[in-house]
């Protein structure tokens, strides 16, 4: 597995913070890194596969990837990401306990992903831009940068604690998170619609508008991506993987897999 190194993504090994923006995101090979990463989805949508688990992400989502996580972005939609990189080997000069705040957005837990209203997201993008503008003459760089970083974190935290819970997009964010957590089980769509105060027709329409897929095809995609990770990275039998990932019929699993990825599961394992 590829490991992204501090020396390739930071101006120097002595820097605490760095930034990497992707337009579009093109890193669809599984990797880890020796730095932490705070990610804001600036636009687009896709699947973030972290520690073998697929999670749908869309514009406004925010999550925190630790240096011991392994992840990639599946080829679904066009993602533009803002990545604030954090060097764990260097201490902040002025800030403490930022890890505790950032852990609220842990990427390994689908329920921990935050979501930002468009105006909040745009404000956060502006803060990131200011953080990495060299302004030494007006203020010591570390003080200015760390102050802006703290503002960024507090904007993210405050949005989650006081955001508009009735916003349709927020409901959709929570509902997609629920589906990701339960994608290997049978979904009762009536119960899901009732739980998120939506009609079933509205629920289906919003999923299709957001993901580009029908609800059933969206669930199938989550299951297939999860199965693909297991096929590539484990020795578990393909039949067992099919059942683990919610397929009751291994023949149906093989057919669906080839339709999406162009290879049968057995061919995928040989290739890996």
The SS3 of residue 27 is coil
Q: Which residues contact 207 (CB under 8 A, 6 or more apart)?
A: 172, 176, 213, 214, 215, 218
pLDDT, residue 233, reads: 85
Q: Please report, for residues 154, 165, 234, 242, the alpha-carbon distance to residue 158 in angstroms, rounded to integers and kept in the order given.
A: 6, 13, 40, 41
62: exposed, middle or buried (C-beta count within 10 Å: 0-12, 13-18, 19+)?
buried
pLDDT of residue 174: 81
Helices of type H across the chain: 6-9, 98-102, 118-131, 141-162, 168-181, 189-195, 200-211, 215-233, 238-244, 250-261, 265-271
The pLDDT tens digits of the residues spanning 41-57 come to 999 888 898 998 888 88
Residue-wise pLDDT tens digits, 199-255: 899 999 989 988 888 999 999 999 999 999 899 889 999 999 999 999 998 999 999
Q: What burial letters (b/e) apply to 125-134, b meaning 16+ CB within 10 Å?
A: bebbeebeee
Q: Is 250 helix (H, G, I), strand (E, B) or coil?
A: helix
Domains, the chain, ordered by start = 2-162 (2.60.120.280), 166-272 (1.10.10.60)
Q: What is the pTM of this model?
A: 0.84
> How far is residue 97 CA from its own chain's centroid?
23
Task: Indicate the pLDDT class of residue 79, thresholds 50, 70 and 90.
Answer: confident
């Amino acid at each position: 597995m590829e490991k992204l190194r501090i020396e390739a993504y930071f101006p120097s090994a002595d820097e605490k913070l760095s930034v990497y923006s992707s337009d579009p995101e093109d890193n669809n090979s599984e990797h880890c890194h020796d730095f932490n990463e705070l990610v804001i989805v600036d636009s687009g949508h896709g699947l973030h596969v972290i520690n073998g688990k697929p999670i749908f992400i869309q514009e406004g989502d925010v999550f925190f990837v630790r240096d011991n996580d392994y992840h990639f972005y599946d080829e679904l939609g066009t993602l533009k990401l803002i990545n604030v990189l954090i060097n764990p080997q260097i201490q902040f000069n002025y800030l403490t306990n930022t890890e505790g705040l950032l852990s609220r957005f842990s990427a390994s837990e689908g329920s921990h992903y935050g979501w930002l209203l468009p105006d909040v997201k745009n404000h956060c993008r502006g803060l990131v831009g200011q953080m990495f503008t060299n302004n030494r003459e007006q203020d010591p760089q570390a003080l200015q940068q760390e102050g802006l970083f703290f503002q960024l974190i507090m904007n993210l935290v405050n949005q989650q604690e006081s955001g508009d819970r009735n916003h349709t997009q927020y409901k959709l964010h929570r509902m997609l998170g629920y589906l990701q957590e339960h994608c290997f089980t049978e979904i009762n769509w009536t119960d899901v619609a009732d739980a998120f105060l939506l009609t079933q027709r509205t629920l289906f329409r919003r999923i299709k508008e957001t993901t580009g897929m029908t609800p059933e095809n969206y669930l199938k995609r989550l299951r297939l991506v999860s199965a693909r990770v297991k096929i590539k990275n484990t020795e578990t039998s393909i039949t067992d993987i099919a059942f683990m990932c919610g397929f009751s019929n291994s023949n149906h699993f093989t057919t669906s897999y080839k339709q999406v990825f162009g290879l049968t599961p057995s061919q995928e394992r040989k290739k890996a």
